[in-house]
Amino acid sequence: MKITSAEFISSYADVKKCPAPDLPEFAFIGRSNVGKSSLINMLAGMRKLAKTSVTPGKTQTINHFLMNKTWYLVDLPGYGYASASKSTREGFGKMIEEYVKQRENLNCLFVLLDSRLPPQANDLDFIEWAGGQEVPLAFIFTKTDKLKQNELQKNLAAYKKTLLTRWEELPPIFLSSSEKKLGRDEILAFVETAIAN
């Protein structure tokens, strides 16, 4: 899919205030700092559409972007940011939980995983919970530019092995680097197919 327009709509702290659910929607979730906002910019082909930061916890609300005037792309706050206060963490949790449960036009939830790390407990917890919801999932392994091909394959294999102890069949998996613009065509093609079906 060619991106012809990408427009920031607004930020919301409550799923009930989000735009009318009249277009297909694709959301990006994952631990703080995993690279959600950077990936969204890479997909949009715009460097500063979504705000990114070296400091975890940058995105704190639900952010809607209208793509090609036909679908919504959503940047979500990260989960599992240990330094955030407990009440803030619970707040993120609740916002994300309600968004995933209540957003009726949510076509796919992309769960971003840091390709440099072995399976992380909070990611597995989130995947376990999200897998029990009604929305289809897909996984995106981020920051693949930061490690060597053999390390990447090793981490990927470890993740798949862990996930296969909980899932009979794995959801679609993508590899990405926002730095090197990798994974863009594959993810956009997947979105295009999902919208068409």
> Smaller CB distance to ligand GTP: residue 30 or 72?
30
**Residue 32 interacts with Mg ion (CB under 5 A): yes or no:** no
Residue nearest to ligand GTP according to CB distances in the complex: 78
> Smaller CB distance to ligand GTP: residue 15 or 40?
40
146's CB contacts (< 8 A; 6+ apart) are 115, 116
The Cα–Cα gap between 7 and 24 comes to 15
Q: Whose structure tokens read 């919970």?
A: 129
For residue 28, give the amino acid letter.
Answer: F
**Residue 56 interacts with ligand GTP (CB under 6 A): yes or no:** yes
Taking the complex as a whole, the smallest distance from the CB of residue 48 to Mg ion amounts, in Å, to 13
- Tokens standing for residue 180: 């090197």
159: enclosing H helix or E strand = helix 149-164
Member of 24, 57, 119, 136 binding ligand GTP (CB under 6 A): 57
Q: Whose structure tokens read 């679609």?
A: 172
Question: Beta-strand (E) ranges in 19-169?
Answer: 25-30, 62-67, 71-75, 106-114, 137-142
From the list Mg ion, ligand GTP, none, pick the one residue 115 interacts with, judged by a Cβ distance below 5 to 8 Å according to partner type: none
Site for ligand GTP in 74-133 (CB under 6 A): 77-78
Contact 42, 176 (CB under 8 A): yes
**Residue 186 interacts with ligand GTP (CB under 6 A): yes or no:** no
**Residue 155 interacts with ligand GTP (CB under 6 A): yes or no:** no
> Smaller CB distance to Mg ion: residue 37 or 107?
37
- Chain residues in the site for ligand GTP (CB under 6 A): 30, 32-38, 52-54, 56-59, 77-78, 142-143, 145-146, 177-179
